[in-house]
Structure 1
């Protein structure tokens, strides 16, 4: 399953480079995996996440939502813990060099389908193979083609698949965006 996510990351990057006319930008980032926040609890994972993605041009067909940019991404964990791939929509808000980028997506992950605390027997896996992935980034436009972003990414099932269990994982990191 891990190699599937590595291949998804490579294919995402290759698609972005091979078809620049169809894309708005490619991005790559490095994230701390399983950062403690009020939105999650410990799932005993570690390492860093390497994220590669591809954002399409803002969608005219979704102008009623503010012309979001559809995206695809793959995130590979460096220690073999939970990796994921998926897609969604993001919005670039702001006209100057500094901007905000909220987003919402859906990902499929390769974490364990069941994981229990050996002492309490409390379940702490992610509860579902398919997860929601909200995010928020603050960006700085370095040049016409390059932007840097600090971002928070969360993955969880929002208690939709199990109302008593939803640990989630938060990642915090930085990425570079290259406009094509």
Structure 2
């Protein structure tokens, strides 16, 4: 995990100068409380991300931004990363509500071996310490608030849910619910 975090941080550091001349790009970093609904997995997650400028498009789409995102559990449990679109609606000149929808890949446990006996120590450990995700590819939904501290500095508070919703898979779907804070730097202001 430390190597993955270091690679993400290095990518953001090296990408920042290239983005500086491109208005609307945003790099993000923060932390989330992990697995809020089931409380099976613990430890906070470290988050990193990158958002594009508005992608344009028809007015009915409200001009979304693209994003890529990584979330890394500090206790070595379920990590995930993904991409998607996010829409923002201004509440006033400094505060916006954010809605995001995307796909993620996670390295978590999908299910317990159905052939293992109930007394199997590995089965018991997995059932009590891991969220059983049902699939490695999951939906990523986000609801948040952005507060523009300055023209370039943004603080986001958000709730995210990753799940297959019985659409991308069948059966297990314990999912993950996280809440956190990210700080973003928007280039070009």
In the superposition, the TM-score normalised over structure 2's length comes to: 0.80
Distance 1:118 1:151, change over 3 A: same
1:23-62 CA-to-partner distances (Å, cap 9, x unmatched) read 61111111000012xxxx45x2110011110001100246
Q: Give the alignment of 1:115-130 within 5 angstroms.
A: 115=112, 118=124, 125-130=132-137
Aligned residue among 92, 97, 100 for 1:100 = 97
Counterpart Cα distance in 2 of 1:125 and 1:4: 25
**Are residues 1:25 and 2:26 paired?**
yes
The gaps in structure 1 that reach 5 residues or longer are none
Aligned-partner SS, 1:114: coil
Aligned to 2:51: 55
- Distance change (3 Å), C-alpha of 1:124 and 1:29: closer
Q: Is the 8 A contact 1:8 1:74 kept in 2?
A: no
CA RMSD of aligned residues (A): 2.6
Gaps of 5+ in 2: 114-122
Write out aligned runs for 1:75-154 (5 A): 75-94=71-90, 95-115=92-112, 118=124, 125-154=132-161
* CA spacing shift, 1:114–1:152, aligned 2, 3 Å: same
Confirm or deny: 8 A CA contact 1:12 1:72 kept in the other structure.
no
Q: TM-score, normalised by structure 1?
A: 0.83
